[in-house]
Amino acid sequence: MWKFEAGGRRANILSCRSVVKVVGSVAEFWGGTPMHIVHQQGRRLAVAALLCLICTCIVRAADEPTLTKEQIKNFLLTAKIVKSQRTSKGITNPWRLTLTDGTVTHDASFQPIEEHQAVKQLASGTEMGFVDSYKYNIAAYQLAEMLGMDDMLPVYVERSWKGDRGSLSWWLPVKMDEVERHKQNLKAPDSDAWNNQMYKIRVFDQLVYDSDPNLTNVLIGEDWKIYRIDFTRAFRQSKDLKNPKDNLVRCDRKLLEKLKALDANEVAEKTKHYLDKDAVKAVMARRDKIVEYFQKLIAEKGENEVLY
């Protein structure tokens, strides 16, 4: 039978019964005289047993269920944490936790960072009203859901672990990050598909105004699928865009329509536990400027040159 896996691929899952049938049909080509029948049957049984064992492993690996977004959220909120290790990625060094509900076992990233400083000296300069908060991860995911971009971010929820409150996100099936891709000088086989994903990420980065959009936060999965993670330093109070001429080149048509339809009251309601009123106002002000910028670009270059 066919089983659809993550990403829409399909895998052929063989039953042990079908394996035995295959072995039987292959055995017919071995031929032989009657004195070899016993040996043939023994070989058939041995090969069938081996293939059944292999088949069982395949089924177990492939039978891990593909969960819906809501099921993933529930799993992250309720599954038991059975293992933990500190990672070395990023500035905040999040924890990699292993969770299980008795049926599904999966890893998740836990970030308990919650830092507020009136003045913070950074490599990029001095920042006033500095915030580094796990809450922004959750706010970013909720905003992505409203824009139909939640497939480009891991599911984020809020959870406590060992007395700390933090964001917990589904561990993504990635092969590398952007830093590793550059080191290996790798290029996506479909440059148009790659660029279209990056255009969306850049629009989203402008909307949430991430002050730390480093390349380790751009992950690459199967079939060159791009994911964006770690927004703990996003949602600054600035109402301006960052280098729009370089960062806003093209835009997905559906995303632009979603941006136009984005409602301040809905944003405030969805993110009320994670963003204050000033942060929401800043998001909407940047939304206005993103839409205005693309409308001007369309007037100058034509819709087909700007939208896809």
- Per-residue model confidence (pLDDT) at position 88: 80
DSSP-based helix, strand, coil % in the chain, nearest 5: 50, 25, 30
Residue-range domain boundaries for the chain: 2-62, 69-306
pLDDT higher than 70, residue 304: yes
- Per-residue model confidence (pLDDT) at position 30: 31
- Which range scores top for mean pLDDT: 45-59, 111-125, 288-302? 288-302
Instruction: Report the alpha-carbon distance of residue 264 to residue 245 in Å, rounded.
Output: 26
pLDDT higher than 90, residue 104: yes
pLDDT higher than 80, residue 29: no
pLDDT higher than 70, residue 36: no
Average pLDDT over all residues of the chain? 85
Q: Yes or no: say if 259 and 143 are a contact pair by the CB < 8 Å rule.
A: no
Quick one: CA dihedral 42, 46, 49, 52, positive or negative?
Answer: negative
Q: Yes or no: say if 267 and 143 are a contact pair by the CB < 8 Å rule.
A: yes
pTM score, whole prediction: 0.78
Query: In DSSP terms, which residues pair with 165 in a beta bridge?
Result: 160
- Judged by average pLDDT, the poorest of 5-14, 187-196, 199-208, 262-271 is 5-14
- Per-residue model confidence (pLDDT) at position 89: 72
Q: Closest Cα partner for 289 from 207, 204, 200?
A: 207
Give mean pLDDT, residues 161-166. Answer: 98
Q: CB atoms < 10 A from the CB of 19, how many?
A: 19
pLDDT higher than 60, residue 20: no
Instruction: Report the alpha-carbon distance of residue 291 to residue 307 in Å, rounded.
Output: 12
- Per-residue model confidence (pLDDT) at position 265: 99
- Judged by average pLDDT, the poorest of 32-46, 139-153, 217-231 is 32-46
Q: Closest Cα partner for 241 from 258, 226, 257, 259?
A: 259
* 259 vs 14, residue with greater confidence: 259
Instruction: Calculate the dihedral angle through the C-alpha atoms of 133, 139, 141, 142, rounding to the nearest 10 degrees.
Output: 170
Give mean pLDDT, residues 249-278. Answer: 99
